[in-house]
Structure 1
């Protein structure tokens, strides 16, 4: 199986890059201190963003500008990292979901990068980042009615099933991480000319935490305009 980024993505966002972590053999039912990791990141954000407007912080502006290039209104559709940071900065807290998701959210907040998580076993085909076409469908969290997409929306997909809409806005019910998830693909989205170090540091720390806590098989990678695929 591969993660493939379509060449059209780089034509629109030439410096976009992706840190990749693939973890296999996870037991996501264990209590492994993920709660504390998330708590620490929440406290960090509450302090760091005190008296600041989240959307004006440079780390968020990178994604807002990219959304505008893609024709996405960043005020109506916040990137996942802006949405979670805004919530936490307002001291609204953030729920514990399961160990893997909590760890992902903790690392995402610490490095201020969007970090996705997709169940590999639910993917019948390669995971792709591409622009949508007629016939693509999306199942929102907690829903049972599919949404039909129009053309030219940047999406994470498996076949015609959309895993994440509007690039890094919202993930699907299909392929979400549950306590039963064992094999997981984590993409970390960023920009080589803006927050490359954060992408790489988030990737490496996520890999280290997963290996330490789950004793699972780990593979890391990097995708950019010069290397558009990653096999796992």
Structure 2
């Protein structure tokens, strides 16, 4: 079974007391039922607009405070869940991208929780949530062209042994580890603060694993709760 062991730098505890996350690893099987993701994304948008979860506002506000705490400007670079939900508020729905991406976006929208999905085969070493020195390489796209940049010193980043995989904690994913339904080794991280009940985080993880199993019968999935 695929094994992923994320590490969290001690400094993160001071920035985000009570931070906890679900780490989910997947050995993929053939994707037989992509409609599962389409239905999940449509359902999540509808649920958010019509009967949102009670912790949503408090949880996203807490993420804004955490982002401000390490120097980010959440109005310009919000956490991933906030960015997705603002698009739904603006457009009323969300266009599909890729079945696996659509599924984890649906979970993020429905549960107001940042969810990352990574092609673990592209990793060198294990995921590390840490504070940037400002020299780490980050591969991205600017004006439609491949580009390289570095995070700000003091910025919270996810990285592996050779570079940044996600900037500003969960704001922008790099190109190298971007996930799609074609990948065989998948890693997901659902990140929460105390304003989101732990039971709700577990429910979000269960919804993700259930959707993956229905889309890819036979996939091997394991999950682990990480806390500071």
- TM (norm. structure 2) is 0.88
Q: How far apart are 1:82 and its partner, in Å?
A: 0.7
**Conservation of the 8 A alpha-carbon contact between 1:62 and 1:194:** no
1:147 equivalent in alignment to 2:152:
no
Task: Give 1:80's aligned residue.
Answer: 80
Segments of 5+ residues of structure 2 without an aligned counterpart are none
Task: Give 2:222's aligned residue.
Answer: 219
Task: Give 1:40's aligned residue.
Answer: 43
1:123 equivalent in alignment to 2:126:
no
**Conservation of the 8 A alpha-carbon contact between 1:18 and 1:223:** yes
Task: Give 2:66's aligned residue.
Answer: 66
Cα deviation code 1:166-225 (max 9, x no counterpart): 001111111101242111110011123543232221112211221232120011011111
Cα deviation code 1:14-65 (max 9, x no counterpart): 211111111112435753421111111111223247xxxxxx9223212111
Task: Give 1:169's aligned residue.
Answer: 171
Q: How far apart are 1:96 and its partner, in Å?
A: 0.9
Figure out how many residues of one structure are paired with residues of the other and give that number. Answer: 219
SS at match of 2:23: strand
Segments of 5+ residues of structure 1 without an aligned counterpart are 50-55, 226-232
Q: How far apart are 1:134 and its partner, in Å?
A: 4.3
1:196 equivalent in alignment to 2:198:
yes
Give, in whole Å, the separation in 1 of the partners of 2:111 and 2:171.
18
Give, in whole Å, the separation in 2 of the partners of 1:32 and 1:64.
33
Structure 1 pair 135–71 and aligned structure 2 pair: CA distance change class (3 A):
closer
